[in-house]
Amino acid sequence: MNGATGEFCLTTPEQLRTILATVQQASAGKAEILCGVGAAGVVQARELASIAEHAGVKGLLLPMPYFFPYQQEDLELFCREVATSTQLPILLYNLPQFTSGLEKETVRRLIVEVPNIIGIKDSSGSLEILRDLTQHGVDACRIVGNDSALAPALCEAVCDGVVSGVACALPEVILEIYQSEPESADFVRVDALLREFIAQLDPFPTPWGLKWAAEARGILRATFSQPITEHRTEQHMALNAWLAEWLPAALVHQSVQKVSR
């Protein structure tokens, strides 16, 4: 909960409490919750971490402080300071599109030296950090956070899982990638579907495109923190028209697979 797709920079502490209570109730003990504690500084991140810990989450997702550019030593000290305030395991969150990016040496040092920093969710789209952890034999949880990098990461065996934005609207596609042998015909086919979908989302802020896709599937009604311009409405209509043709063909194989099991 409360990652970039969840628009963490807009979440107030009270809203985070509501989010976590809602998810705990909805999951009814069937899920372990990883909670993002993204903030502009240490004080705010510690407050969110405390809320998450009291809500019974199993781990924290720690983005780097947003808005201002920071050097690696600044980021490292930020992570160490937040980590000392909680007993929960922490995944670093590398999100260079919106925050200062982490370098592989910084990541490796933090995971090796800070006991409760246990891994990373890397949303950079690059596999450099995940490869580095693997090559150095670091005992780390290696999570892909950029869906376009998932298939290459699985082929190289440099990841342990994915925190997927696409899975919010198309869980079947992400599931089939995991159920297919890397580089098999099915694997290549579903990765191509995934990339087609991502290409359609590219013109939008990621949460917008995913909300519209989920709405097209009848999962929820899309709501937004920003006003939607007339041009964006036209783009939404075009996305809906594309989804109306693409979704049935994309999901028919998943349906067949589910029935056959």
Q: Is 66 a catalytic residue?
A: no
**What span, in angstroms and rounded, lies between the C-alpha atoms of 165 and 146?**
8
**What span, in angstroms and rounded, lies between the C-alpha atoms of 52 and 94?**
20
pLDDT of residue 254: 58
Q: Among residues 58, 66, 70, 93, which one is catalytic?
A: 93
Number of Cβ within a 10 Å radius of residue 53: 16
**Domain extents in the chain:** 1-163, 167-261
User: What share of the chain in percent tops pLDDT 70?
Assistant: 97
The torsion angles phi and psi of 90, rounded to 5 degrees, stand at: -125, 135
Please list the alpha-helical segments (H only) found in the chain: 13-27, 42-54, 72-83, 104-113, 128-135, 150-156, 171-179, 185-201, 206-216, 230-260
CATH number, domain 1-163: 3.20.20.70
Positions of the chain with pLDDT under 70:
253-261
List residues bridging with 81 in a β-sheet: none
pLDDT of residue 94: 98
pLDDT of residue 205: 94
| Mean of the per-residue pLDDT values of the chain | 94
Q: Among residues 58, 70, 121, 178, which one is catalytic?
A: 121
Q: Is 121 a catalytic residue?
A: yes
